[in-house]
Amino acid sequence: MARGRGITAWLGVSALVPLLCLAALFASLGARPAHGEGPSPGALIEQARRAIARGDGIDAEVKLEEALEHGAPRADVNALMGQALMAQDRRDRARPWLAPGRFSPATAAAGWRSLGLLERLDDNLPASGRAYDRALAIIPKDPSLWVEIGRLRYAGGEHRLALEAAEHALALDAASVRALEFRGQLIRDRYGLLAGLPWFERAIVNDPKDMPVLLEYAATLGELGRASECVTVTRRVLQLSPKNPRAYYLQAALAARAGKYALARGLLARTKGKLDAQPGVQMLRGVVEIAAGNPAAAAEALEAVLAVRPDSLHARELLVRAILMGGQYRYATLRFAGDIAQGQASPYLLISVARAWEALGDRQRAGELLDRAARPASPLRVLGDAGRIGALLELGQTGSAQAAAEAARRSDPGFYDAQALAGDVQLALGHGGEAQVRYGLAAEIRLPESLFLRRFAAYAMARDPKGGHDLVEGYLRQNPTSRPALRAAAQMAAGSGDFGRARSILSWLRDNGGEGDVALLSDLAMAEARSGDLEAARSAALSAYGLQRSSPLATQALGYADAALGGRDAEARALLYKAQAIAGKTPLIAEARASLHARR
């Protein structure tokens, strides 16, 4: 019996061995497909490459995960997985794949490039430069890599070096779409919107289906006011990439500019929130939600803008408007208390918060803010640079501030900010000519609207009307819809006695978004009065005065129009007295009083 049990037990074990072997064999067959039964790791990696090339990061990620499951070495996948996740804007997930730098020889260039981009987007510029250096050692003649290096240099303020990188990229490949696009962007920043168009057009001729350059072209057309062309290009993008969020955003911006806010709101909804991290998108959303009567949604969008761009004056003014629309008067006084205390509030913001105090029954605080709003702003406040100039000069160490600014610009003459800041210091000191020299050097790198305004102020300070005229006309040739440049053109036209041109420009600005601009309406009233249309002048002045009764400009314009028209002499005298009490004697007040006196 004992022996029988032993034989039976042995037989049971011996029978189990082949069964276990067969199970292991089947398991291995299930985990590793036989030849011809599904794609190999190499084939999956190649499919992922193609998905990345067409911008489908999700499909690429799936293919690469499958390749790893089928035994692909991680070093073959790291770079591509980083690219796939970057294409999904998942930088947090891309970093573990890229940061260690463990790339196979075949993927090393792509890996270092992707890491360079990741570090640049995360504002780790030195780390980005090191990664790009590693890629450059592998592919030194790749034009698109030189474009990425140029973008890094531009982000770091090395603007001349960025220009050199763009030129080198084009020297390597004159037909490179990325190089042409980057050069167009640099040209647009330096010379204006119109100058950038030919570069984008050349890029599109070389690749009519390249969506980034099509979108850049469409955005530039939109800024130029060429709406129909912009719509045509965005529709082409949507044919190539249905539901492309940036195409819908550009169409929404065009609709908003045309006053079609309901259409703009619907188009923004089609972006599905994919662009919500961009301040420009949230700014537009704030505008359309205000127009739609949704102050809470508008305020949320505008707070998102200010979280990224805390110095945005436009966002602050829209935000206070949204808050007051919602009847949140107490919150308005609290939200902007810091701006008011620090002297950073614009006249519009001061007036809006004053209205909130009036609604709360505190007329004393309201009056104090209205008085502050009526005080003439310094040139630096108008230009929006009082904060940074004040930081240099408030200490009373003018010589030290000037010396520091000069040393900075000389140590790196190709650094835009150093040249512009040195010009700001000279402007703050009242040295218009010296400011202009430094602004001119900054403008050789790029010429944004903020620098245009400071250059215009410097020409006025230096009493150089020809220089100012040439600046304005040249800027408008490239940027025909620039509101600051059009305001400057109207100012120069009025100064030279061409009130017809001044009136035409100011009327266009009023009819295209300037209905609530007190200074613009006041200037328009004076241009209309000087052109002989006194009824129109009074209408514009009444609009300005209705918006801000404490404005010396609006008060003076209305008093002048009433005095010129006749029939309202008592009202005219009261208005002129009020304007003088706020701003002091002006030639216009004296002229209006003379006309009143002549009728006695």
pLDDT digits over 437-465, tens only? 999 999 988 899 999 999 999 999 999 99
The CATH code belonging to domain 482-600 is 1.25.40.10
**pTM, rounded to two decimals:** 0.82
Q: Is pLDDT at 21 greater than 50 in this prediction?
A: no
The sign of the torsion formed by the CA atoms of 551, 554, 560, 564 equals negative
How confident is the model at residue 403, as a pLDDT? 84
What's the confidence (pLDDT) of residue 208? 96
| CATH number 1.10.3470 is the correct assignment for the domain at 376-480 | no
CA dihedral sign, ordered 108, 114, 117, 123: negative
DSSP string over 107-176: THHHHHHHHHHHHHHTT-HHHHHHHHHHHHHH-TT-HHHHHHHHHHHHHTT-HHHHHHHHHHHHHH-TT-
Which pLDDT value is given to residue 414?
79
Mean pLDDT of 399-411: 82
Q: Which residue has the higher pLDDT, 345 or 100?
A: 100
> What's the chain's average pLDDT?
88
Distance CA 83, CA 102 (A): 14
Instruction: Evaluate whether 519 touches 553 at the Cβ level (below 8 Å).
Output: yes
207: left (phi over 0), alpha (psi -120 to 50) or beta: beta
pLDDT value, residue 523: 95
| DSSP annotation string for 421-432 | HHHHHHHHTT-H
Largest CA-CA distance found in the chain, in angstroms, rounded? 145
Say what the pLDDT of residue 418 is. 87
Whether 379 shows a pLDDT value over 70: the answer reads: no
494: pLDDT strictly greater than 90 = yes
Dig out the tokens for 293 from the structure.
């009567």
pLDDT exceeds cutoff 90 at 393 = no
Give residue 392's pLDDT.
Answer: 46
Contacts of 58 (CB under 8 A, 6+ apart): 84, 88
pLDDT over 70 at 377, yes or no: no
Q: Which residues contact 457 (CB under 8 A, 6 or more apart)?
A: 379, 382, 383, 427, 432
Residue 567 pLDDT: 85
pLDDT for res 584: 84
Residue 248 has pLDDT above 60, yes or no: yes
Q: How confident is the model at residue 26 (pLDDT cuts 50, 70, 90)?
A: very low
- Asked if pLDDT for residue 94 goes beyond 50, the answer is yes
Cα distances from 472 to residues 65, 485, 527, in angstroms, run 57, 6, 19
**Does 390 score more than 80 pLDDT?**
no
Percent of the chain whose predicted confidence (pLDDT) is above 90: 71
For residues 104 and 38, give the distance between their C-alpha atoms in angstroms, rounded to a whole number: 24
Poorest-confidence range of 230-239, 275-284, 342-351? 342-351
**Residue ranges of the chain that CATH labels 1.25.40.10:** 482-600
